[in-house]
Amino acid sequence: LQLIHCHQFPLKTSYASVIGYVKTLCGRWNHMHKVLVDMTGVGEYIVEDMKNAGIGNTEGVKFTLQSKEEMATY
């Protein structure tokens, strides 16, 4: 697993804008195997909407204290 792009959207950015941005990146970078989405606060809603928009390789991730520690020490 390799992080190739990270973007933090301003608060209150619409989900449609986020999905459009991710879809544009996926079109630009054809070699992406997965799109991991933080669904800690919003649940599976955003993941399902991204899949419905044609971003089929989307997976939701719920961040926990343990997963944050693992990422920080990788």
What tens-digit pLDDT sequence spans the chain (74 residues)? 677 888 889 999 999 999 999 999 988 887 778 888 888 887 788 899 999 999 978 999 888 888 878 877 76
**Are the C-beta atoms of 38 and 63 separated by less than 8 Å?**
yes
Q: Residues 67, 72, 74, CA angle at the centre, nearest 5°? A: 90
Residue 51 and residue 57: Cα distance in Å, rounded? 7
CA distance 45 to 15: 10
pTM, 2 dp? 0.74
Q: How many CB atoms lie within 10 A of CB 22?
A: 20
pLDDT value at residue 33: 82
